[in-house]
Structure formats: C-alpha cells, structure tokens
Chains A and B, each alone.
Chain A
C-alpha cells in the first residue's frame, strides 16, 4: 500500500510534465508554422503588387491616349499580373484595387491568401506605385514619399532618401567640401512617420528622438551627416551658402535645408545653381540656364522638362503674346499667372519659377508627365473631364512636342521610372 502511494505520487508528475512538453511542442509548431506562412504571404503580396504595378506602368501610356474604359482595362491587366505572380509564390489573389485620387490610378493594392498550418489561410496586403522619373534630379534610384509629411519624389544620396531640391543642394555642398579635402556622408534623410515611430519606440526620449509626426525628417529637408571636428567647422562656415543650417545646437550632425522641397517654398532663396549646365539642353539660352535649373530644382521637376515647356511655349521669348492672350516666356493666361503667384508674366524671373510650380502641381495631381503637360496646355479641368490627354489635336501635338524636346520620346515617363513598393503604414511590414 505504501509502495503504490509513492508510485502514484511520481506518476502524475511524469504525466503532467509529459503533457506540458507535448502541448508546448504543438504550440511552438503551430506558432512557427503561422509565422512562416505569414512571411510567405507577405512575400507573395509584395511581389504580386510589384508585378501589378509593372503591368500598370506598361499599360498606362496606351490607356491614356484612349481613356474610354481605362479603369476596367487597367484592372484587368493588373489582376492578371498579380495572379500570375501570386500563383508562382504559392498564394492566390483575393483582391486587386487600383488606387488614385483622380481618374488616373498610379498605385495598385493587392491582397493575397496563402495556405497556413492546419488549414488556416494567412492573408497579406501590399501596395506598389509608379514613381515618375520626370521629377527626379541627379543620379540614383527614385522613390516616392507618402505617409505623412513630405509627399513627392525622393532621390537618394549615400542610400538615404531626400527630396530632389535637397539632393541638388547637397551635391553642390559635397563638391565644395571635397575641394577642401573632406567628404560628406549622409547617415539619415527623409523618415516617414512610421519609421519615426519605430525609432521613437526604441528610444522614447523626446530630447533625442522626436515623436512621430513631430520630426523635421518627415519634411525630407533634413540630413544627418557624419561629422568630425573639421567637417563641422567647415559646415558652420559654409553650409549657409548652400541653404543648410544646423537645426539644433546639441545636434552637430543635423542640418536642415531652409528653402524647402517644392512649390510654396521660398524657392528664390535656393542655392545658386550655377554655372554648371546641369544637363540642360544646348538650346537653352545662357541667360536663362541658371534660372531654369534653380526653378526646376526648387519645384522638384526635371530641368530638361521645364526647359522643353518654355521652348515649346515661347521659344524663350519673354515679351510674346499669343492670339489667345497667353503672355510671356511661359505663356501664362492672366488668371493662371495670378493663381501661380506670378504678378508679371512678362518677367522671366517670376514666370519661369511659376511655370515650374504649375508643372509640379500637374505631376502631383495626375501622376504622369504627359498628363501634367496636357493640363498645362488645355487646363486641368479638360484632363479630368476626359480622364486622359484631351482629344484636342493641339494638345496632343503639344504633349508630343514637349516630350520630344525633353528627350523622353513620348514615353509615359523616362528611363528612371520605377515601380516601387509603397510604404503605407501597416500595409507593409
């Protein structure tokens, strides 16, 4: 009897521990399986969205010329591309949605489902969008900023994103400091609110890391530079000439670009851009080259595109008036000039920055260079009404002419155009 009692004391312990071990293993296996499936679903969603975005980029030029049934056609090609990609990645497409504020979608969102352990399906969503190359300046890959703060094209220096105007000013400053035997390296540039939230969660001290939504890095104007004593001393002496200031006395690495990134910013104070031709076409008159380059950079549009518009509009004649009443080098109608803050359309110093701002606004609204040009020529209302380039012979000829002058051969966007995964909060991990 005593023996059975003692044996009975050990047996429940053995059984309990064994049961716990089995449950723990099963639990780990299930959780692990779900995590693997979730990772696979996210991968499949990313690639399906990328595929759909690439199909969208390919289909848009033809679709824009013939806007009837545009959305249905784009939905068809993007769904087919997403389905083919997802199928190869072991998932199936649940939903494909075109995303765009106007009638022209520039992003596509894809939701996929992938089988997980024990018959449980796992879903993931990703979004890809077209980054318009005409807004790019300089070298490097192009991205598109969304999700709070600055919204527009991004270019990269040292692998860090910033708006084109900041990149142009940084390049000039970098060239200058190289002449002094030093080198500037960017440690951080534009940060979305989501990225800032991650940083703040790691170091929740507002003195060192601004809370999401409060950091200047969301404006795409701020750079964290690798500095030592000599570099900092040089920056203190010279950075102001390039538009940069040290934002905080206790952060000697944090330099902000005062003129800002685009329309509405005081572009007139942008750094003097030079003497360098900046890749402008040879036919741009010498007296306008610096102004064109500076205006385009401040607005975030390609200088070659702005130059092409001025060439097509007036052949750089500042005093011309068209039969329709368009005035000056940028051929502004009086009302359009007022809307762009141009008091004297015959003054190139006002008209050229105004034209750059008008182009940038068109690219932002319609997401493509040809549509922005059509809007410049025929008005934004006509582009919205027709959902593409309006069927006016003059407007179509104008778009083709400017695209040719800009050296882009009528493509939707230049060689730098890319489809990028959109960082949209919780859409992507």
Chain B
C-alpha cells in the first residue's frame, strides 16, 4: 500500500509539469497570434500613413496577448516605418 502510494505521489508530481507545459503552449500560441495581428495592423497603418512627401513615418500596431494566470494582460507591439509617397 505504501509502495503504491509512493508511485502515485510521483505520478501526481507530474501533473504540475503537464499543466505548466500546457499553459506555456497556450501562451506561445497566443503570442504568435498576437504578433501576427500586430504586424497586420502595423502594415495596414503604414500603407495608409500620410505625411510630408519623402519623410519616413513610423507607426505601431498592437494586439493583446494572453497572459498566464495572475499576470497583467500583455500586449505585443510592432513598429513599422515607411517613406511617405
């Protein structure tokens, strides 16, 4: 009984690792999606940016990224520069 309990405890110890890995995976996927969205926004804004001809305009695109529980909500920001037509 004691021996079975010890093995069970070791398996139980695995649980946090699996949960942690899943959370990190969700976070990585979320960051990827947010980064892609931020890049799209920056690109769109840069394409529409207007200013004195010849000047280089920098715009930013931001998207919310998921945060692990207990952390503040994160943002991914992308800067993009383009020369005004």
Contact = CB atoms under 8 A, between A and B. Distances in A.
Contacts of A29: 24, 28
Interface in B44-84: 46-47, 53-54, 56, 58, 78-84
B56 to A, nearest CB: 4
Given A11-B10, A32-B31, A54 B78 contact: no
B79 A10 contact: no
Contacts of A324: none
Interface in B8-57: 10-11, 13-14, 17-18, 20-21, 24-25, 28-29, 31-32, 35-36, 39, 42-43, 46-47, 53-54, 56
A87 B14 CA distance: 46
B79 A6 contact: no
Contacts of B24: 25, 28-29
A36 interface: yes
B80 A47 contact: yes
A7 B6 contact: yes
Contacts of A85: 56, 81-83
A160 B2 CA distance: 73
Contacts of A32: 28-29, 31-32
A339 interface: no
Nearest to B82: A47
Contacts of A204: none
Interface stretch (A14-22, A150-158, A240-248): A14-22
B21 A89 contact: no
Contacts of B7: 6-7, 9-10
Contacts of A17: 14, 17-18
Given A28-B25, A47-B81, A84-B81, A10 B18 contact: no
A39 interface: yes
Interface residues of B, number: 38
Contact of A6 (B4, B35, B80, B84): B4
Nearest to A90: B79
Given A2-B3, A3-B3, A39 B36 contact: yes
Contacts of B81: 47, 51, 84-89
B6 A50 contact: no
Q: In the complex, which of the residues B4, B79, B83, B85 has the most CB atoms of chain A within 10 Å of its own CB atom?
A: B83
A98 interface: no
A47 B10 contact: no
Given A7-B3, A87-B81, A35 B32 contact: yes
A397 interface: no
A178 B13 CA distance: 73
Contacts of B32: 32, 35-36
A7 B11 CA distance: 10
A84 B31 CA distance: 28
Nearest to A44: B80
Contacts of A419: 85
B78 A40 contact: yes
B68 to A, nearest CB: 13
A131 to B, nearest CB: 12
Interface string A196-217: 0000000000000000000000
Given A51-B56, A58-B53, A28 B6 contact: no
Contacts of B28: 25, 28-29, 32
A340 B54 CA distance: 41
A35 to B, nearest CB: 6
B65 to A, nearest CB: 11
A86 B24 CA distance: 32
A29 B6 CA distance: 34
B2, B36, B82, B84 interface centre (most CB from chain A within 10 Å): B82
A10 B46 CA distance: 56
B83 A50 contact: yes
Contacts of B29: 28, 32
A55 interface: yes
B21 A21 contact: yes
Contacts of B10: 7, 10-11, 13-14
Interface of B: 2-4, 6-7, 10-11, 13-14, 17-18, 20-21, 24-25, 28-29, 31-32, 35-36, 39, 42-43, 46-47, 53-54, 56, 58, 78-85
21 contacts: A7-B6, A10-B7, A13-B10, A13-B14, A17-B18, A18-B17, A24-B25, A25-B24, A25-B28, A32-B32, A40-B35, A43-B80, A50-B47, A51-B82, A51-B83, A81-B56, A84-B56, A84-B81, A84-B83, A85-B83, A88-B80
Interface of A: 2-3, 6-7, 9-11, 13-14, 17-18, 21-22, 24-25, 28-29, 32, 35-36, 39-40, 43-44, 46-47, 50-52, 54-55, 57-58, 81, 84-90, 418-419
